[in-house]
Chain A
Amino acid sequence: MEFNKVIGSRRSIRYFQPYKSVEREKIQTILEAARIASQAVNSNWAKAIVVNRDDMSEEDRNALKTPTTTAQLDLAPTWIFWYGDTTAPSRGQTTLKQLVDVGALNPSHGWSHAYVDNVIWTQVLTPIMSDPGTLAVVTAVEAGLAICQAMLMAVNLGLGTGINAFNAAKAKEVFGVPDHLIGLWVQLVGYPAESSDGGGQRPREPFESLYFEGRYGRPFERDLEVVEQLTAEGMLQPAAPQPWRQDEVRALARMFGLPE
């Protein structure tokens, strides 16, 4: 799929074909995409545990749900539990020097092993690690970048996907998750039972109210020719709800025995 169309076609899918499992190579491809995401200090902040729904006991499965995620967790055949690794910056001294060695961080921009050891480690990474609030924010943002790539890859592979809340305390117990990992989202993966466009692109705030130029409050002017081009390329798609969406949702609810 073309890149612009992948971005434009992503939706949070909540109805999956429960009987159709996802090919293992597709799951690996999703994880490979996450692994090479942008990451601060070049340390891997995102960790994941892949679980096949049907390999879990009913008791564990139910304990991991929240009341509004019950249906989609039951329907999706593959669950990827994403975690943020709060020890990632502790590897920064090594991983940053790797970037110096491979020509990513260069003397042309002021980088050296000495700068990493004497300044970045002591003045940046150590303070981050000693401030739980900052550490949690950085961890979540950095892991989020990887999760985003994982979602877009799932779309690229023709799968339905979406990230959902889960019972992190129970997951910790069931999967043996160490204390330094923060439970973030469970990414559900499967073949969509709903139309893959989910009834249209979701509402967003107007472009001009989100993005500014020069100073806060001065809207970045939106060029309608660019909008037309992106529409032609499938990145900007018809807005939700499409006229048939309610009928689709009702049909899905009836098929799966869900409330209306």
Chain B
Amino acid sequence: MTVDEVGQFATVKQWLSAFGSHWSRAAGEADQRRKLEVLHRYCEFAGRDPDALVANLLRETPTGQKIWLKRRRAEMARIDEFETVVADSDRRAGREAGNAVRSFLIHNGVALTATPFR
């Protein structure tokens, strides 16, 4: 799977569209490319493509969509781990990468956040 191919997944299109709509501005081309590169790297890290990442966390029930809570906890821990790997010695860079992945999940309906810097 290439970076360009990552951009073709339905959940990635949903992410970019919802992100632009929420913030009333689409990401610039360079910014969008950087995000896709991060997500591509995370997909390799997690061993799942973008749609599979989201599908793994959501389930359909008779009353609507629900989130698998244990799986979400595991995914959140994996994103934290990913941050550490990406960060090297730059904590902000690691967080920026982790937040790109979190943003992807959030705009696909998976509620989560990061531990704030303080």
Judge: A and B partners, yes or no: yes
A residues neighboring B (CB under 8 Å): 18-19, 67-68, 70-71, 74-75, 246, 250, 255-260
- On chain B, the residues within 8 Å of A255 by CB distance are 117
State A246–B95 Cα separation when bound (angstroms).
21
Query: Which of B5-13, B40-48, B58-66, B108-116 forms part of the interface with chain A?
Result: B108-116
A75 to B19, CA, bound (A): 25
The answer to whether B103 touches A75, judged by C-beta atoms less than 8 angstroms apart, is: no
B106 to chain A, nearest CB (A): 6
* Given known A257-B95, A259-B99, contact A18–B113 (CB-CB < 8 A): no
Tell me whether A256 and B19 are in contact (CB under 8 A).
no
Residues of A within 8 A of B70 (CB): none
Given known A18-B116, A257-B92, contact A67–B103 (CB-CB < 8 A): no
Q: Which residues of B contact A (CB under 8 A)?
A: 19, 23-24, 72, 76, 92, 95, 99, 102-103, 106, 111-118
A258 touches B113 (CB 8 A): yes
Enumerate chain B residues within 8 angstroms of A18, measured Cβ to Cβ.
116, 118
Alpha-carbon gap, A153 to B115, bound state (A)? 29
What separation, in Å, do the CA atoms of A259 and B107 have in the docked complex? Answer: 11
Q: Do residues A256 and B118 form an inter-chain contact, with CB atoms below 8 A?
A: yes
The number of residue pairs between A and B whose CB atoms lie closer than 8 Å in the complex comes to 51
A257 touching B116, Cβ below 8 Å = yes
A71 contacts across to B, CB distance below 8 A: 113-116
Are A67 and B118 in contact, CB atoms less than 8 angstroms apart?
A: no
11 further A-B pairs in the complex, CB-CB below 8 A; given A246-B23, A257-B92, A257-B117: A18-B116, A67-B111, A68-B113, A70-B113, A70-B114, A71-B113, A71-B114, A256-B116, A257-B99, A258-B113, A259-B106
Is there an interface contact between A70 and B103, defined as CB atoms closer than 8 Å? no
Whether B72 lies near A260 (C-beta < 8 A) is no
Q: Is the CB of B102 within 8 A of A259?
A: yes
Cross-chain contact A259 with B103 (CB below 8 angstroms): yes
Shortest CB–CB separation between residue A78 and chain B, in angstroms? 14
A259 near B114: Cβ-Cβ < 8 Å = yes
Contact flag A259-B113 (CB < 8 Å), given A246-B23, A246-B24, A250-B23: yes
Are the C-beta atoms of B117 and A67 separated by less than 8 Å? Answer: no
The residue of chain A having its C-beta at the shortest distance from the C-beta of B27 within the complex is A260
Contact present for B23 and A75 (CB under 8 Å):
no
Most buried by A among B23, B24, B92, B117: B117
B113: A residues at CB distance < 8 A: 67-68, 70-71, 258-259
Residues of A within 8 A of B99 (CB): 257-260
> B80: shortest Cβ distance to chain A, in Å?
12
Of chain A, the residue at the smallest CB distance from B117 is A257
Question: Which of the listed residues A67, A71, A74, A259 has the most CB atoms from chain B within 10 Å of its own CB?
Answer: A259
* A255 to B: closest C-beta gap in Å: 8
In the assembled complex, the CB of A243 is this many whole angstroms from the nearest CB of chain B, namely: 11
CA distance A199 to B103 in the complex (A): 22
Within the complex, the shortest CB–CB distance from A199 to chain B, in Å, comes to: 14
| CA of A92 to CA of B103, assembled, Å | 51
Q: Looking at the assembled complex, report how far the CB atom of B38 sits from the nearest CB atom of chain A, in whole angstroms.
A: 12
Residue of B nearest to A256 (CB): B116
* Complexed CA–CA distance, A260 and B15 (Å): 11
B118 near A74 with CB under 8 A, answer: yes
Q: Which residues of B contact A260 (CB under 8 A)?
A: 19, 23, 99, 103
Cβ contacts under 8 Å, A250 to chain B: 23
User: How many angstroms from the CA of A200 to the CA of B41 in the assembled complex?
Assistant: 39
CB neighbours (8 Å) of B116 from chain A are 18, 71, 74-75, 256-258
